Amino acid sequence: MADTISFARGAPSLDIVDVEGLSAAAQRAFANDPGGLTAYGTAIGYVPLRKWIAEKHGVDESRVLVTNGSMQADAFLFQTLVQSGSDVVVEKPTYDRTLLNLKSLGAQIHMVSLERDGISTDELAGLLRGGVKPSLAHVIPNFQNPAGYTLSLEKRRALLDLAGEFGFPIFEDDPYIDIRFAGESLPTMLSLDESDDKVVYASSFSKTVAPGVRVGYLVGPAGLIDDIRKLATNTYIAPNMVAQGIVYEFCASGAIDRSIATVKAALAERVDILCDALAEHLPEATFQKPEGGYFMWVSLPEGSDIDAIFAAASERGVAIVKGTDFLLEGGENTLRLAYSGVTADQIEEGVKRLAEAVHAVPVAG
Amino acid sequence: MADTISFARGAPSLDIVDVEGLSAAAQRAFANDPGGLTAYGTAIGYVPLRKWIAEKHGVDESRVLVTNGSMQADAFLFQTLVQSGSDVVVEKPTYDRTLLNLKSLGAQIHMVSLERDGISTDELAGLLRGGVKPSLAHVIPNFQNPAGYTLSLEKRRALLDLAGEFGFPIFEDDPYIDIRFAGESLPTMLSLDESDDKVVYASSFSKTVAPGVRVGYLVGPAGLIDDIRKLATNTYIAPNMVAQGIVYEFCASGAIDRSIATVKAALAERVDILCDALAEHLPEATFQKPEGGYFMWVSLPEGSDIDAIFAAASERGVAIVKGTDFLLEGGENTLRLAYSGVTADQIEEGVKRLAEAVHAVPVAG
């Protein structure tokens, strides 16, 4: 069998990572701030990077905490706000690790339908009026994982209104925002929230620099950020100063802008090829072409058996993620395709293999 | 007032960190393994570094997990083994952050007296015979924080015997082992444990490379390490690949041996100056001269008031840590001096200021 072509992992292929730029940033970082990189530092993160992030988002530095990747930021936030039995709202479908971590905390998870313009605010309003009191509502607003959909401006405003009316924090989980390769950018809920107390925002440098640097961050109300700072101090004293120092140099020098341009151009090309190949080889698949990010959600005809398709695909050397992994129930006719880790020349062959796998499995009913 | 001289923080002064060596290691790491450094990696850590550590300790790789600093390793271990109400044994005195984290988990903490040759195994045996069933016994065997004492070979064997007889794991917390500048090295309990199931060992590169790299590790029974790997995956996907890749190159090239030699020579000189200065300016202080590590425990006459001395020292521009911070009760006549962060030329002046502070505060009784 040929080497496996993976549409499974949400990670960039090495050809779109600026390794030379990172190596050069490392040299500058050690030369410019040897004390800052090698000393313990503090739990708020590497100070110049924290300042750069605060300026990017137009907020006071006291509202920013830089962590070892944004998953660690999520973990701290959940540890602070979510107890066993807490009501938590997530999108349906949503990121499988988020779902797993909320489950393991014993949260009462309420999945709210994700539409092509984002979470159903009507369905959420119904839940809230019915008495659900969320500890947080987790929303991935841009190029959602796994669906690739983006939350409309109207719904961003509606969510903020609901958060104000019913008194819950929105967890705006936004790692893909800078990887928009089509359409118009929308303002973050963080920036739309004039009260500065309704949104906790998370993002990451995994998609704009590289995942291996493991640098993410939270922006939130200063009091909450200070609580999380204490938790972070007791957990690890400080996050990685060497990696954060390198990322700071990469950002401050403008290398990050060139890196983002490279990533966007590559992903735009891949999405075009992916959608064309699906139309040709798997015409029964339905999907919405993403305007950014790493992922596309694909629906097959009702009655499809994703477990069998997954196995058949695996046998044919193509990896996907089953839609059921992103849901508490249902989704047996859905899958997620990541186009971040495949190079353009692998995509058509991968889709051909996937189509063969789909066509090898009978549809029920 | 002159700049504060700090005997407070257990961190190296910048002059004993090999910044150029780290920068060179970073360049080699990005050149030799661009994919390994920039991709997500997995929760067990950067694979070549894990292998290097396994070889250093003569264990199978499956028993090693590399983390973002050893505090994070401790946190994972405690999260796995300690519940609210769990009996836990620690040394008296012990590292203040360990004490704080065990308290916040709601552990039932049993402090066992630390003697100049390590934890009192007789006192521990009495506790165990009295029915205490520890989830773990935390021991810092070499150059203990805060006391600077080292566990004798006889007591290492006695601890392993007790662990076998009463069925509890020893948490051998050993970040200072490679910083021995006098006397003879002793084998780790990890290496003495022929059953391979009585010891979970933690160490770190903070003292041999630099704290800002935030690289620590656990070595333990393969099953426990695999449980912690799952917890680590859910917490942060993977630790810092960039920093671990740099540390690996620093180790593999032999730069770490030169770095350790530099650190040991500097600390040996500082300890000599510190002990001489105390003998001259504060002759009523008693202490045991450390053979390695960062810290020395100092006892003042009974009736001394460490809170008042701390404040008086602070006014005179010298920082110390109160002995009471390392205990659940008592220790009002004790303090910890760290000689890692002060350069040789600051020490005598710092001790003079400390002596003035001690002499400015009346002794009770």
Top residue of A22, A32, A40, A42 to mutate, by most chain B CBs within 10 Å, is A40
A10 and A24 within one domain = no
Q: pLDDT at residue A119 above 70?
A: yes
Q: Do both B94 and B106 map to the same domain?
A: yes
Cis peptide preceding A134, ω within 30 of 0: no
Asked, for residue B365, whether it belongs to a domain, the answer is no
- Please name the residue ranges forming H helices in B82-204: 96-104, 121-129, 153-166, 189-192
3-state SS class at A4: coil
What's the token pair of residue A202? 């998370």
Chain B contact for A101, CB < 8 A? yes
- Same domain assignment for residues A196 and A70: yes
| A33 assigned to some structural domain | yes
Does residue A365 form part of some domain?
no
Tell me, yes or no, whether A85 and A166 share the same domain.
yes
Closest CA to A207 of A8, A9, A54: A9
Q: What is the pLDDT of residue B260?
A: 98
Interchain contact, A26 vs B31, CB within 8 Å: no
Question: Which residues 1-20 of B have a C-beta within 8 angstroms of A?
Answer: 9, 11, 14, 17, 19-20
Rounded to 5 degrees, φ, ψ at A193 are -80, 100
**3-state SS class at B130:** coil
**Res. A221: pLDDT tops 70:** yes
Please answer yes or no on whether B234 and A36 come within 8 Å at the CB atom: no
Alpha-carbon gap, residue A247 to B37, rounded angstroms: 13
Are residues A185 and A261 located together in one domain of the fold? no
pLDDT at A21 over 60: yes
Under-50 pLDDT residues of chain B: none
Whether B27 contacts chain A with CB within 8 A: yes
Query: Using alpha carbons only, what angle is made at residue B3 by residues A50 and A239, rounded to the nearest 5 degrees?
Result: 25
- Of the three residues A254, A286, A305, the one that is the final residue of a domain is A254
Do the domain assignments include residue A322?
A: yes
Contact B240 A240 (CB under 8 A): yes
- Same domain, yes or no: B319 and B185: no
- Scanning A123-142 for CB atoms below 8 A from B yields none
Inter-chain contact B212–A68, Cβ cutoff 8 Å? no
The answer, yes or no, to whether residue A236 has pLDDT greater than 80, is: yes
A1 pLDDT tier (thresholds 50, 70, 90): low
Instruction: Looking at the complex, report in whole angstroms how far the Cα of residue A212 sits from the nearest Cα belonging to chain B.
Output: 4
> Rounded to an integer, what distance in angstroms lies between the CA atom of residue A274 and that of residue B301?
78
So what's the pLDDT on residue A147?
Answer: 96
A237 and A164 together in one domain: yes
> Do B11 and B36 fall within a single domain?
no
Task: Please tell me whether residues A110 and A243 are part of one structural domain.
Answer: yes
Q: Tokens 């039995």, residue?
A: A85
Containing structural domain, residue A353: 5-16+257-360
- A35 neighbourhood in chain B, CB within 8 Å: 14
Helices (H), B253-322: 255-281, 306-315
For residues A12 and A69, state if they share a domain.
Answer: no
Structurally, how many domains does chain B consist of?
A: 2
Helix, coil or strand: residue B228: helix
- We report the CATH number of the domain holding residue B343 as 3.90.1150.10
Q: Which of A9, A17, A38 to mutate to test the interface with B (most CBs of B within 10 A)?
A: A38
Both tokens of residue A292?
Answer: 């950014």
Mean pLDDT is lowest, of A96-100, A312-316, B124-128, B204-208, for A96-100
Residue A111 maps to a domain? yes
- B62 assigned to some structural domain: yes
- Amino acid B1: pLDDT: 52
In whole angstroms, give the CA distance from residue A101 to residue B248: 31
| Radius of gyration over every alpha carbon of chain B, rounded to an integer in angstroms | 21
What CATH number corresponds to the domain at position A212?
Answer: 3.40.640.10
Question: From B30, which residue of chain A is nearest by alpha-carbon distance?
Answer: A23
A204-215, pLDDT tens digit by residue? 999 999 999 999
Amino acid at A226: D
Give yes or no: residues B235 and B352 share one domain.
no
Q: Find the mean pLDDT for residues A150-168.
A: 98
pLDDT band at A365 (very low <50, low <70, confident <90, very high): confident
CB–CB contact A212 B236 (8 Å): no
Contact (CB<8Å) A19/B38: yes
Q: Which of A220, A254, A288 is the last residue of a domain?
A: A254
Query: Same domain, yes or no, for B316 and B202?
Result: no
Closest CB to B39: pick one of A37, A104, A212.
A212
ipTM score: 0.95
Residue B189 to residues A30, A289, B50, B57, B224, Cα–Cα distance (Å): 37, 58, 20, 11, 17
What angle, 0 to 180 degrees and rounded to 10, lies between the N-to-C axes of helices A70-81 and B222-236? 90
Q: Which of A229, A254, A279 is the last residue of a domain?
A: A254
Give the per-residue pLDDT at A144.
97
Asked whether residue B232 is assigned to any structural domain, the reply reads yes
